[in-house]
Amino acid sequence: MVIVDMHEVNLRAVDLNLLVVLEALLEERSVTRAAERLHMSQPAVSRALQRLRDTFDDLLIARSGTHYTLTPRAEHLQVELTWVLKNIRQMVQAPKFDPLRTRQVVRMAGPDVEVCQLVPELLAHLQHAAPTLQVELDSRPSDYFSALVNGDIHFVISGLAPSQQDDQLHRIFLESTEVGLMMGAAHPLASQSIDLEAYLTARHGYISLTGRGPAFADATLKAMGKKRNTVLRLTSFASVADYCERSDLVFMLPKSIVEHVGKQRDVVFRPVPEELRAPELNFYLYWHQRNHRDPMHRWLREVVQSLVV
C-alpha cells in the first residue's frame, strides 16, 4: 500500500518572494548569474537558495563537474513555476483597457431628457473610438443613486443631488442651467411678468423622477405657508410640451430641458417669481468609488469631460 502525505502546506510559513529567486536560479543554473539578474549580492542569493532547499527538502541545483544541473524535483518545479509566476504577475499588474477592442458593457441611468442631452454625442464619439463598447441606458423613473450604490449601474446623469451615502460617490460637472416656467404660448401668463400671486392661482404640473414625493417648489412654498394648485404629476419630461400646448398647465423646469422638449413646439419659457428663484441648477455625471480606478471607467470619464468642455 502506498501512503500519501495529505498534510496541507501552510503558505503563511512560506516566503513567496523566494519564488522569484528560484525562477532565476533554475533558469540561470548559477548563483552568480542569478545574483546579477536579480541585482542582488551573491551571499544573499546563496542564503535564499539554502532556504529554498529547506522549503522543498531538495538540493534543487547540484554541482556536476564544472557546472550545475537541476534535480528531478527542480525540473518539475520549473514547469510549474513558470505558470504560477505568470499568473501572479498578471494578477498584480494593472488591468489594461483597449477601447478599440473592448466588448464591455456600460450601464448609465438618468431622466430621459437629461440622458438625451449627453449620450447621443457620446455615442457619436464611441462609434469610432470604441466601436464595440456596449452602452445600456435606463431612463425609467427610479432612485438612480440607490442603483448606483448597489452596483446595478455604472453612471448616473442627474441635476439632483444624492440624498445619502454621497461620500461614496464621485462626480464631474456637465452643465449649468437656470430654472423657469414652461407653458403654452396661448397661456394667459405667457405674455406677462409672473409674480407669486399669479403663480399660485395657475394650475400646475410637475415631474417626479422617482414616481413619488412632492416637487421642490411645493417644499419651498410650504416653508412660506403657501400652497400651489397641482393637478398633474408626470414621471418623464418627454410629454411635457404636449400638456402645455393643449392645457393651461404650468411646469417649473430647467431651461436646458425646456429648450430640448419645447423645440419647434408652441410653448414659452418665463422666469419664476422672485420668491421662488434659486441658484442655477448643475448637472453632473456621478459614479461610485468602487469603479473610480477602473481603466474603462477612467477612459470613459475622460471622454465625457472632453465633450462638455
Residue of 296 and 237 predicted with greater confidence = 296
Average pLDDT over residues 199-211: 85
Identify the pLDDT of residue 6. Answer: 44
**AA identity, residue 53:** R
Identify the pLDDT of residue 2. Answer: 43
CATH 3.40.190.10 fits 105-176+282-308, yes or no: yes
CA dist 123 and 129 (Å) reads: 9
pLDDT exceeds cutoff 80 at 49: yes
Positions of CATH 3.40.190.10 in the chain: 105-176+282-308, 179-279
Q: Which residue has the cell 498534510?
A: 7
Strands 155-158 and 229-234: unpaired
CA dist 136 and 245 (Å) reads: 32
Residue of 266 and 2 predicted with greater confidence = 266
Average pLDDT over residues 68-74: 88
Neighbours of 302 (CB within 10 A): 11
Q: How does pLDDT run across 234-265, given as a tens digit for each residue? A: 888 888 999 999 999 999 998 988 988 898 99
Identify the pLDDT of residue 165. Answer: 64
Q: How does pLDDT run across 262-294, given as a tens digit for each residue? A: 989 999 999 999 999 888 888 999 999 999 989
Q: Which of 6-10, 91-95, 299-303 has the highest mean pLDDT?
A: 299-303
CA dist 304 and 12 (Å) reads: 46
Record: fold of 11-92: Arc Repressor Mutant, subunit A (1.10.10)
Average pLDDT over residues 186-200: 94
CA dist 108 and 286 (Å) reads: 10
pLDDT exceeds cutoff 50 at 1: no
pLDDT exceeds cutoff 60 at 4: no
CATH number of the domain located at residue range(s) 179-279 in this protein: 3.40.190.10
**AA identity, residue 88:** I
pLDDT exceeds cutoff 80 at 304: yes
Average pLDDT over residues 141-168: 85
**AA identity, residue 199:** Y
pLDDT exceeds cutoff 80 at 76: yes
Q: Would you say 119 and 262 are in contact if contact means Cβ atoms under 8 Å apart?
A: no
- Per-residue pLDDT band at 12 (split at 50, 70, 90): low
Identify the pLDDT of residue 225. Answer: 94
The full length of the chain comes to 309
Q: Would you say 240 and 251 are in contact if contact means Cβ atoms under 8 Å apart?
A: yes
Share of the chain above pLDDT 90, in %: 47
CA dist 25 and 33 (Å) reads: 8
18 in helix, strand or coil?
helix
Mean pLDDT value across the chain: 87
